[in-house]
Amino acid sequence: MRAFVPLAAGSLLLCLLSPLHAQLLEQRSALSDQQEVAVTIYNENLALVKDVRRIPFKSGPVSLAFRDVSARMRPETALLRSLTAPGALRVQEQNFDFDLLTPQKMLEKYVGKTVRVVRTNSATGQETTETATVLSANNGVVLKIGDRIETGVPGRLVFDDVPPNLRDRPTLVMSLNNSGTALQDVELSYLTGGLSWKADYVLELNAADDALDVSGWVTLTNTSGTSYRNAKLQLVAGDVNQVAPEVTLRGRAVMMAAPAMEKADVNMTEESLFEYHLYTLDRPTTIAENQTKQVALLSATGVPARKDMVLVGTDYYYHGPSGDLGKKLKVSVFLEFDNKESARLGMPLPKGVVRVYKKDSAGNAQFIGEDRVDHTPKNEKVRLKLGNAFDVTADKKQTDFKRLPNAGKYGFVSESAYELVLKNAKKEAVTVTVQEPIPGDWQIVSASQPHTKASSNTAVWKVTVPPEGKAVLTYRALVRY
């Protein structure tokens, strides 16, 4: 006798075979299973995540949905291993589902398929239902209802099912075989984008401009699509090569500047790692989704500093007659200090932005400039350009130029003279470093002050300018090339 399946039972069978029910048959692991998580973040929008969870497994084939992973995961780098029973889990297949369940995504997945449109009469409260075909979900929805086309959502849309691969959270689905114990601690490790860090430094310069206090901060930005609770945090400073770099961060991260005069409470230790440097936070920290946070990196007080005023010329006026070369030329202001233990520092400094403050006469900290520094090893000098001097200016002119007969291997020979007037409106004397780039084979024939040859094409003078006064530098150069 043939058995017939009632219509209601057939509908139930179809439901059981639906993608949603297939997800229900999966074994799911959420953040509640997490025992610990470690995050190592690199400079260039790259991080290594190690997520340890305690999961009960049945023996044999298992479909494991590892939820709340990074939405920016590089799935080809994912590796699952059992810490309790090494070798017990054999992964046969894995799928990374990062298309998240939203009304827009539902519409996109239903293009070409039918939905039900439910309208409610505002006067009577009665509902009517029509079947519609989704024609497009690009910048709005286009529906075909009967013999007419409608745009927008004319009522409440009812979908028959959840499309495959749509998840409420980013999920790595793995088909695996378990030959070990039921309850196991497993570790999923993977590389991901969406996690980045940068160093920010806050310097307070003293009244005499010869010492400063340093606070270093690490700014973390998480746009990876998940949170990392009580994470062991490590940071790698250095230029790590990537074969296929990730795209730039989606969205715009809001960067926070450290409070100007707040001292950093340092919790970071540093060590060498290959040709890089590794910084480890000595306590767990939570890196929340879509969050920017700061962690103290270093702190030092009384670091010896040097202020340098520099006027840099150009080499074009050594080629011909030029006359007046400029009035009130800008004199650049630099601040430098040594990254040495003897200077109360000595930690390798990750690249970042250095912001400098100084207190006014009322004791209020005022911003006086910033500069970007590259990775700076121990025992190297840090040099920052803060801006241009207001009270120190220069007037420069060429006072003589003559072309000399060509000699020997040289096709061009000239002699030219210059006058540089440095003016100082301050009530204290200043020293200005004058750097002149001179082309070809050159020599200073005469000068009102001694110079040094800083490099093959640069002559340097150190000129002291008296308070509320001026100093004049004159020199004559012989150029051959």
Per-residue confidence (pLDDT) for residue 261, from 0 to 100: 42
Cβ neighbours, 10 Å, residue 217 = 22
| Helix or strand (DSSP H, E) at 284 | none
C-alpha angle 279-281-282 in degrees, rounded to nearest 5:
125
Per-residue confidence (pLDDT) for residue 101, from 0 to 100: 72
Kindly compute the dihedral angle of the four CA atoms of residues 340, 345, 346, 350, in this order, to the nearest 10 degrees: -120
Sign of CA dihedral 227, 232, 238, 240: negative
Cβ partners under 8 Å of residue 391, min gap 6: 424, 425, 426
CA distances from 321 to 334, 400, 402, 417, 477 (A): 32, 8, 8, 10, 13
- pLDDT tens track, the chain, 481 positions: 334 333 333 333 333 344 444 444 789 999 999 999 999 999 888 999 999 999 999 999 999 999 999 999 999 999 999 999 999 999 999 998 877 677 887 888 889 999 999 988 888 888 999 999 999 988 889 999 989 998 887 788 888 887 766 777 889 999 999 998 889 999 999 999 999 999 999 999 999 999 999 999 999 999 999 999 999 999 999 888 877 544 443 433 333 334 444 555 667 888 888 888 999 999 999 999 999 999 999 999 999 999 999 999 999 999 999 999 999 999 999 999 999 999 999 999 999 999 999 999 999 999 999 999 999 999 999 999 999 999 999 999 999 999 999 877 888 999 999 999 999 999 999 999 999 999 999 999 999 999 999 999 999 999 999 999 999 999 999 999 8
Per-residue confidence (pLDDT) for residue 210, from 0 to 100: 95
Per-residue confidence (pLDDT) for residue 332, from 0 to 100: 97
Give SS3 for 24. Answer: helix
Indicate the domain borders of the chain.
Answer: 26-100+167-192, 103-161, 305-336+382-480
Per-residue confidence (pLDDT) for residue 264, from 0 to 100: 55
* Cα–Cα dist 237/348, whole Å: 9
Per-residue confidence (pLDDT) for residue 257, from 0 to 100: 39
Kindly compute the dihedral angle of the four CA atoms of residues 283, 284, 290, 293, in this order, to the nearest 10 degrees: -10
| Residues β-bridged to residue 382 | 337
Phi-psi region of 251 (alpha: psi -120 to 50; beta: other; left: phi over 0): left
C-alpha angle 196-300-375 in degrees, rounded to nearest 5:
40
Task: Please identify which residue in the block is written with the tokens 């009102």.
Answer: 448
| Residues β-bridged to residue 391 | none
Cβ partners under 8 Å of residue 12, min gap 6: none
Give SS3 for 16. Answer: helix
C-alpha angle 300-301-307 in degrees, rounded to nearest 5:
105
Closest by Cα among 191, 206, 200, 288 to 240: 191
Cβ neighbours, 10 Å, residue 141 = 23
Per-residue confidence (pLDDT) for residue 244, from 0 to 100: 54
* Cα–Cα dist 442/181, whole Å: 81
Which CATH number is 305-336+382-480's, of 2.60.40, 2.30.110, 3.40.91, 1.10.1160?
2.60.40
Closest by Cα among 415, 381, 383 to 399: 415
Give SS3 for 232. Answer: strand
* Cα–Cα dist 111/319, whole Å: 71
Closest by Cα among 67, 72, 65, 134 to 104: 134
Per-residue confidence (pLDDT) for residue 477, from 0 to 100: 97
